Structures are given as C-alpha cells and as structure tokens.
C-alpha cells in the first residue's frame, strides 16, 4: 500500500480517497445520517486512517474494507451508545472494542456537529440565541 510506505504521497492519498471515501459515505447514509453528517464522518475516518496507516499491519486473512466498515461504525456508534442510550464511556468502549478516549473523542465530534447544525438552522430561521 503506497500510503503506508509514504503517507505524504498526494497521488496515493487521492487514489485512496477516491476508492474508499464513497464507500464510507454510503455506509453512513445507510445508517440514516444526513448527508452533511455523513460527509463529516467520512472525512474524520479518512483523516484518522492517514494518521494510522504507517503503523497499520495488513492481515491478508481479513478484509480491509471490513475493517474500514467497523472503524466507521464505531465513530457513530460511540455517540449513539453514550448520548442516546445513556451508556457510560467505559461500557461503550468495551462493547465496541475501542479505547475510552476514542469514545469521548467520537462523542465530542458528533455533538459539535449537531450543535453547529442546530445553530445553522436557528440562524436560517432568524432565531436569536
């Protein structure tokens, strides 16, 4: 994988985004996220990937696309478990198999996006806040 060897390779990064970006976005839409939220999650996942690709060890017995799907699902699921179902961060981390810090980060990102969306709606309606 060219990005793993050289994370600064712009042509490899572009090819990676072209190949996997639409798939991540489609998964988000299937999970009933609005298009803007799906785009934000897609970007967040891709940025996380580029930071971690140098350390990524490909396991040929597993699907990269499957791993990518799981990573994408965890970003949204961490928010849903903690904010909607009321699970604690530690419980959500155990259920998702991710670090507690990742749960907090994912929840924060989604909450910030929700606040921005509400503020934009309020502004569009002329509602002072």
Report phi then psi at 31, rounded to 5. Answer: -85, 15
Question: Cα 6 vs. chain centroid, distance in angstroms?
Answer: 23
pLDDT, mean of residues 28-40: 82
Rounded Cα–Cα distance for residues 70 and 12 (Å):
23
Rounded Cα–Cα distance for residues 52 and 46 (Å):
10
Number of structural domains (the chain) is 1
Which pLDDT does position 90 carry in this prediction?
A: 94
- Give the tens place of pLDDT for each residue, 66-79: 877 777 777 888 88
Which pLDDT does position 7 carry in this prediction?
A: 66
In terms of residue numbers, what domain contains 82? 2-125
Considering the entire predicted model, what is its pTM?
Answer: 0.58
CATH number of the CATH domain containing 12 = 1.10.1740.10
Which pLDDT does position 22 carry in this prediction?
A: 94
Which pLDDT does position 49 carry in this prediction?
A: 77
Rounded Cα–Cα distance for residues 78 and 98 (Å):
9
Q: Which of 42-56, 76-90, 99-113 has the lowest mean pLDDT?
A: 42-56
């Amino acid at each position: 994988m060219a990005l793993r060897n050289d994370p600064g390779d712009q042509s490899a990064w572009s090819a990676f985004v072209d190949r996997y970006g639409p798939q991540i976005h489609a998964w988000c839409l299937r999970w009933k996220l609005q298009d803007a939220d799906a785009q934000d999650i897609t970007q967040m996942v891709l940025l996380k990937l580029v930071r971690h690709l140098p350390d990524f060890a490909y396991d040929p017995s597993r699907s990269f696309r499957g791993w990518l799907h799981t990573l994408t699902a965890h970003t949204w699921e961490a928010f849903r478990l903690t904010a909607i179902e009321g699970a604690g961060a530690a419980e959500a981390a155990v259920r998702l198999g991710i670090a507690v810090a990742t749960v907090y980060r994912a929840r924060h990102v989604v909450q910030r996006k929700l606040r921005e969306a509400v503020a934009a709606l309020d502004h569009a309606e002329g509602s002072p806040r």
